[in-house]
Amino acid sequence: MPVRCRSSAAATATVGCPFQHAVKDQEAEPVFRNILPFSAVPTPKGLPILGTALELIRSGGAAKIHEYCHKRHQELGPIFREKMGTLDVVVVSNEDYISRVYKAEGKNPMHLVPEPWVLYNEKKGIKRGLFFMDGEHWRSRRSVLNHLLIPKIVELHGHIFNAVVDDVVDRWEKIVEKTVDGVLPNLENELYNWSIETLGTMVFGRRLGCVMPAESESQLHEFVYQVQQIFKESATMAIVPPRFASTFKLPVWRRFESAADTALDMARGYVEERIAEIEKERDTNAPIGGILKYLLDIPNIVQNEIVNIVADLILAAADTTSHATQWALYSLARNPECQEKILSEIARVVPEGRELDQNDIKSLPYLMNIVKETLRLYPIASFLTRVLPEKIVLGNYEIPAGKLFFMSQYTVGRDAERFEDPEKFQPDRWDNPNAHSHGCMPFGHGARGCIGRKVAELKMQLLIAKTVQRYHIETTNEKEVGIALRMITTPDQPIKLRLTKRT
């Protein structure tokens, strides 16, 4: 099965390899001597036919690939090659290697699209949103969305984010009041609902109803569940070959297909319903907000493509932002001194008697430090992927064009040479924003970096700030929460937070 990709790949570096002899000046790229062929890239020993599959399974399978690759880096160095399932992957963890990968990614970067998603699209005969696009078509649509999602986020959408967060912390207070121990039930779903409500309101120009009063339910809760299932079953098929699972209709494929059918139908239904409302609102001269309205006004984009773009935007953004925020709250619960620093910073910026809002965030740098440190320890994408359009030399090895690169964010963030005491949560290490330029890239980099970065950062900072303002946060988990990959970095057990209202 050929690798299906949508991004780009790797680059050369000059540290970390005993066989490397490079000469470079301040302007030029490194000039390598004794360049070794691709076959010389360090590779772990494996069994005939099975390769290293059994060792990967013994290490915890798909859920623990980040730890498996971390150990491989310790064994083989900052670059190695390994067959993982159906993929032949070059895995790199050196900060400088990763920097050069991005420099070499080309005009239209290519990244890996999970095979189950590719097979699903082929089977259904459907086209999808920005994540699945390639080449000049991708570039043109990305350019349109850049103008809608990146500039003036605070001015255009900050008030929406602020209002949703206020409703969330009010909801949590009512829920916790009814508990015996003050522990917020089902934190993951609560954050999913918040993330979808925020994004949906920004896109559609009206509230969706995900963040309802504590006693209410919303049909969108079903949508939340189905999106979670898509990621869960996709991760399982990192070990079970997706084409095999699809051909023989294994239970994992049936669950994945059912979840994708339901979630996509619901997402498209919401988009199409809102488009119809917008057209009616135009006739009444009612004020229309939301990104969707602006997309409809752009020439040369048909309505069906807009539906696909917006539906996939909602599916992708809700899962990533909600889990990143869950890790941030868990980290703060384990480090109460960080909560106090947030409160002190807010007190210096926000006058007594006035509520914090979106305009204050730019004056609260410690909040951004919290986000960066959280994503260093818990990178939502443990591996960033690229396929380079041309050959490249990395670590003195010549890598042919078209090879798939995994860039190990989990390992980079735990590099003791880059980060002092790397396992410790220390937001102050980010006081110098240039200290670790490529040591933490949770949103990727370059033309194909995460388009929702500014949105996610503002959402996270507002929720963290207002939660800490109202509550002292403690964790009641009896043992430390680890990472389980479910396409993205998720907790290996439910995170339990006790919220104690501040006086």
Model confidence over 36-59: pLDDT tens digits?
A: 999 999 999 988 877 888 898 899
What does the alpha-carbon distance between residue 288 and residue 369 come to, in Å, rounded to a whole number?
36
Question: Would the annotation count 450 as a binding residue?
Answer: yes
Of the chain, the end-to-end C-alpha distance in Å amounts to 60
- Higher-confidence residue of 19 and 296: namely 296
Residue from 399, 313, 321 nearest 8 by CA = 399
Is residue 34 within 8 A of residue 17, CB to CB? The reply is no
Beta-carbon count within 10 A of 71 CB: 14
pLDDT tens digits, one per residue of 324-376: 999 999 999 999 999 999 999 999 999 999 999 999 999 999 999 999 999 99
Helix (H) or strand (E) holding 486: strand 483-486
Model confidence at 215, pLDDT cuts 50, 70, 90, reads: low
Question: Residue 384's beta-bridge partner residues?
Answer: 407
Residue from 388, 382, 380 nearest 405 by CA = 388
Instruction: State how far the alpha carbon of 343 is from the alpha carbons of 111, 372, 464, 467, in Å.
Output: 40, 18, 11, 11
- Higher-confidence residue of 42 and 449: namely 42
pLDDT tens digits, one per residue of 167-188: 999 999 999 999 999 999 999 9
Beta-carbon count within 10 A of 395 CB: 27
pLDDT tens digits, one per residue of 436-446: 666 578 888 88
Indicate the range of 31-45, 323-337, 393-407, 416-430 predicted with least confidence. 31-45
Residue 448 has pLDDT above 80, yes or no: yes
| Residue-by-residue DSSP string for 261-310 | HHHHHHHHHHHHHHHHHHHHHHHHT----SHHHHHHTSTT--HHHHHHHH
Share of the chain above pLDDT 70, in %: 89
Amino acid at 383: F
pLDDT of residue 21: 33
pLDDT tens digits, one per residue of 450-476: 888 899 999 999 999 999 999 999 999
Is residue 13 within 8 A of residue 100, CB to CB? The reply is yes
Residues 6+ apart with CB under 8 A from 154: 358, 359, 361, 362, 458
What does the alpha-carbon distance between residue 98 and residue 412 come to, in Å, rounded to a whole number?
10
Residues 194-199: what's their mean pLDDT? Answer: 92
Model confidence at 239, pLDDT cuts 50, 70, 90, reads: confident
Residues 87-108: what's their mean pLDDT? Answer: 92
Question: CA-CA-CA-CA torsion for 452, 457, 459, 464, nearest 10 degrees?
Answer: 160
Helix (H) or strand (E) holding 228: helix 220-236
Model confidence at 241, pLDDT cuts 50, 70, 90, reads: confident
- Higher-confidence residue of 315 and 179: namely 179
Residue from 341, 358, 317 nearest 425 by CA = 341
**How many Å is the maximal CA-CA distance in the chain?**
72
What does the alpha-carbon distance between residue 75 and residue 386 come to, in Å, rounded to a whole number?
23
The tokens 């670790």 sit on which residue?
A: 436
- Higher-confidence residue of 350 and 134: namely 350
Residue 154 has pLDDT above 60, yes or no: yes
pLDDT of residue 232: 86
pLDDT of residue 221: 73
pLDDT of residue 434: 66
Task: Identify the three-state secondary structure at position 33.
Answer: strand
Residue 240 has pLDDT above 60, yes or no: yes
Instruction: State how far the alpha carbon of 338 is from the alpha carbons of 283, 370, 463, 467, in Å.
Output: 52, 8, 15, 13
Residues 6+ apart with CB under 8 A from 457: 368, 371
pLDDT of residue 47: 84
Helix (H) or strand (E) holding 384: strand 383-387
